[in-house]
Amino acid sequence: MITAGVDVGLENIKIVILKDGKIAAKSEGPAGGAGRGRAAEKLWEETLNKAGIQAADVSKTVATGAGKYDVAFAGDRVVEVVADARAARYFYPNATSVVDAGADQVRVATLGEGDKIEEVVLNQKCSAGLGIMLKYMGRRLGMTLAEMSALAPDAAGGKTVNDGCAVFTEMDALELLNRNVHKKEVAGAVVQTVICRINAILKDKIPPAKETTVFIGGMTRNTAVVDGLKARSGIRFLIPEEAQYGCAVGAAVIASDR
């Protein structure tokens, strides 16, 4: 059986094609703003070509993400946290929790027996848009996301920025720059506040198990955030190779069940 999952986020679209339960092809591209329906169609064709198949060969396609209703070729839609949960168990059958941190949302879910989800916590206290904020601050600082990802734990040098609101975080960061604080220290302070906010969301729910919590989403590509969150939370996250495609993988697994 061949199925597909499409995750349409605010910044990027991810598509995964499963063949007999294995990932046959995956693609990622920009969401395209108001034209994300067209962007999804284009990426769909690219992914089909990678898999060496035609659209007619796909038994079912399920869309998820903020732009799931813009995916005209999807046969069904599912809320993001359900896709997260299915992805976690696909990658790690013994998973008990899943964290998905991307450009816009941070979602944490406690998994129960079978497909049951016991508890869900979403962006709390202005924690939305953390990934977008990191990208924006990188541009302002003249640093790539790779450079920010490689920052050492003590890069902030004792400098801090507001950890309660993204707008105030950016204002504090710009104030530090105006005071001629080195850009790496400013970047380090921004990364630390992202870590604090994600950790606060983790604390708003049943404490995730230290050994069986899966971490997916685009934020997993930021080593500084991942390492800092591990140290602050005490959780040794399970991070699959296709972590940034997690939600799309979950949607494709759901498609195979339907």
Identify the residue whose tokens are 């530090």.
Answer: 176
Which portions of the chain are predicted below pLDDT 70?
Answer: 124-128, 164
Q: Do domains 1-90+246-258 and 93-239 have the same CATH topology?
A: yes
pLDDT tens digits, 208-221: 789 999 999 999 99
| Residue 30 confidence (pLDDT) | 93
Q: State which CATH number among 1.10.1530.10, 3.30.420.40, 3.40.50.1220, 3.40.50.150 fits the domain covering 1-90+246-258.
A: 3.30.420.40
Q: Give the span between the Cα atoms of 3 and 258, in whole angstroms.
A: 10
pLDDT, position 83: 98
Q: Which fold would CATH assign to domain 93-239?
A: Nucleotidyltransferase; domain 5 (3.30.420)
pLDDT for 67:
94
CA distance 142 to 152: 18
What is the token pair recorded at 251? 């949607």
pLDDT of residue 125: 54
d(CA 102, CA 64): 14
Write down the pTM of the prediction: 0.91
Per-residue pLDDT tens digits for 152-193: 999 989 999 887 677 788 888 889 988 999 999 999 999 998
Domain spans of the chain?
1-90+246-258, 93-239
